[in-house]
Structure 1
Amino acid sequence: MAREAAATAYRMRVQGVSVAATKSTITDVVTAADRAAEQQVCEALRRLRPEDAVLGEEFGEAGTGDAAVRWIVDPIDGTVNYLYGVPHSAVSLAVEVDGTVVAGVVRNIVNGEEWTATAGHGAWRDGQRLRCSTELDLGQALVATGFGYDPRRREHQARVVAGLIPHVRDIRRLGAAALDLCFAAEGRVDAYFEKGLAAWDLAAGGLVATEAGLRVGGLAGTAAGPDLVIAAPPGLFAPLHDRLAALDAAGGP
């Protein structure tokens, strides 16, 4: 399903795509391809798994509220990249059972790279099992992050990055949370953090990261979620966590 949705999104990008709507701010865009790809996934799920619930970024919750199985779909993670032709956007699809994510796939729309994970059975790309970075020194860590669309939140996040960057190797802001988590899973970056992720941003990529050995959580023992997501190798998690806590990374709007 993710592969077919990615093919649809790719085809629509080649044909030319425009903004269909905006969400939280005027820069938080939705394209016709977002809607078409999500509808395609939802229709396939209705045929194959009619009793399951579905949570999608564009169309919200569907299905029975008491369903044990729920699918979580982000039809295009990195929509602004997609709109501008930056080759860093993905379809993200995960499934949870009784509230726990058990399987997920993230597929880059442009180049076809695909990451998969199942709970307890590892994370994979192109038949290779993934292992996260073994970096222990925060000063040598390449750290990815992202920014929200609300100008006040972006201002706070910029202050956090300004406070963090003297203490790390460098910062990468690539524009697609699910892909950032997958990059961290295979050591293309050492760690990742961001405030404001929704369930569809985190579900599949978070499982890939976890199954590759990353510790994924929030501040002060909380679960990863909208307040903050930190994904880092176990030996790097504490120093990154403590620096982010000192910078009030979970604060602001």
Structure 2
Amino acid sequence: MAAELLGLALEAGRRAGALLRDGRPDDLTVAKTKSSPIDVVTEMDIAAEKLITGFLAEQRPDDGFLGEEGAASPGTSGIRWVIDPLDGTVNYLYGLPTWAVSIAAERDGEPVVGVVVAPMRNETYRAVLGGGAYVDTADGERRLAVRPAPPMDQALISTGFAYVQTRRAHQADVAQRMIPRLRDIRRGGSAAIDLCDVAAGRLDGYYERGLNPWDLAAGDLIAREAGALTGGRPGERPSGELTVAAPPGVFEPLQGLLEELGAWHD
């Protein structure tokens, strides 16, 4: 079954990625906002989710859905698709290239397939539970593996910021206090791509507060299958409270530093 689910996720992601890349109108504007005036949705987010859910429902009508733009149905098959049709919407709105389509398939609540399509990079990341993680590019397929762990003062860590102002202010304070203890901090604007960059060895770690299931379901599986550890606060799974991903040797001190700085609260 995993091979079938992976094939469907890849095809849905490819179709949505092509729609977003080739169909972006020159006069793209905000269709609506969510948690705050700067938490935006475009008409293309909505169109991409309709394309993905329509294709998957046609192929597997008994499956459930959870999508960022409103798709929600329990299904009866035990499989649920968790979809972010456009992760990095603000980047997309401004014409920046760091955005992706993220699709995961869960079996009884456990992600078993993850696909992240980054059209402007010409990269498609994929993983099957227990089968490793890979990236497909114009040059072919490559198996993903995290970087060897550096000392924390040489670690390049990525993060993201919420759209609610009070939370953003606290997150900025945490980042300010972390910077002297790291090589540097990056802010890419797409949680899915950040997690894949950990998997690909382009980052030494990633953390963020306030993620939703569709933000991290596919990327978390890809990172883990590439050798990363993922979690939230010590002893907890990744969640909206806190998500951390890094190779062994960076994960533990990064998680401890975030706990020390109170990154998990506002």
TM-score of the superposed pair, with normalisation by structure 2:
0.92
Contact 1:144 1:192 in 2 (8 A): yes
In structure 2, the residue corresponding to 1:34 is in which secondary structure? helix
What RMSD over aligned residues (CA atoms) do the two structures have, in Å?
1.1
Contact 2:149 2:248 in 1 (8 A): no
Identity %: 47
In structure 2, the residue corresponding to 1:221 is in which secondary structure? coil
In structure 1, the residue corresponding to 2:121 is in which secondary structure? coil
State the AA in 2 paired with 1:29. V
Residue in structure 1 matched with residue 221 of structure 2 by the alignment = 207
Residue in structure 2 matched with residue 13 of structure 1 by the alignment = 24
Describe the superposition over 1:189-226 as per-residue Cα deviations: whole angstroms up to 9, x where unpaired.
11000001100000000001000000000112111110
Contact 1:160 1:249 in 2 (8 A): yes
Deviation at 1:14, TM superposition (A): 5.0
> Structure 2: any 5+ residue segments left out of the alignment?
1-11
Deviation at 1:63, TM superposition (A): 4.4
Does 1:118 find its partner at 2:143? no
CA distance in structure 2 between the partners assigned to 1:12 and 1:152 by the alignment: 35
Further displaced range: 13-22 or 126-135:
13-22
TM-score of the superposed pair, with normalisation by structure 1:
0.97
CA distance in structure 2 between the partners assigned to 1:90 and 1:113 by the alignment: 10
Work out which of the residue numbers 75, 94, 97 in structure 2 matches 1:84. 94
Deviation at 1:154, TM superposition (A): 0.2
Residue in structure 2 matched with residue 165 of structure 1 by the alignment = 179
CA distance in structure 1 between the partners assigned to 2:71 and 2:260 by the alignment: 35
Contact 2:156 2:205 in 1 (8 A): yes
Residue in structure 2 matched with residue 189 of structure 1 by the alignment = 203
Does 1:44 find its partner at 2:58? no
In structure 2, the residue corresponding to 1:110 is in which secondary structure? helix
Deviation at 1:144, TM superposition (A): 0.3
Deviation at 1:89, TM superposition (A): 0.3
Q: Would you say how many aligned residue pairs link Structure 1 and Structure 2?
A: 251
CA distance in structure 2 between the partners assigned to 1:13 and 1:135 by the alignment: 39
CA distance in structure 1 between the partners assigned to 2:126 and 2:213 by the alignment: 17
Contact 1:143 1:189 in 2 (8 A): yes
Deviation at 1:136, TM superposition (A): 3.4
CA distance in structure 2 between the partners assigned to 1:226 and 1:87 by the alignment: 25
CA distance in structure 2 between the partners assigned to 1:163 and 1:60 by the alignment: 39
Q: Once superposed, which parts of structure 1, at least 4 consecutive aligned residues long, lie more than 4 Å away?
A: none
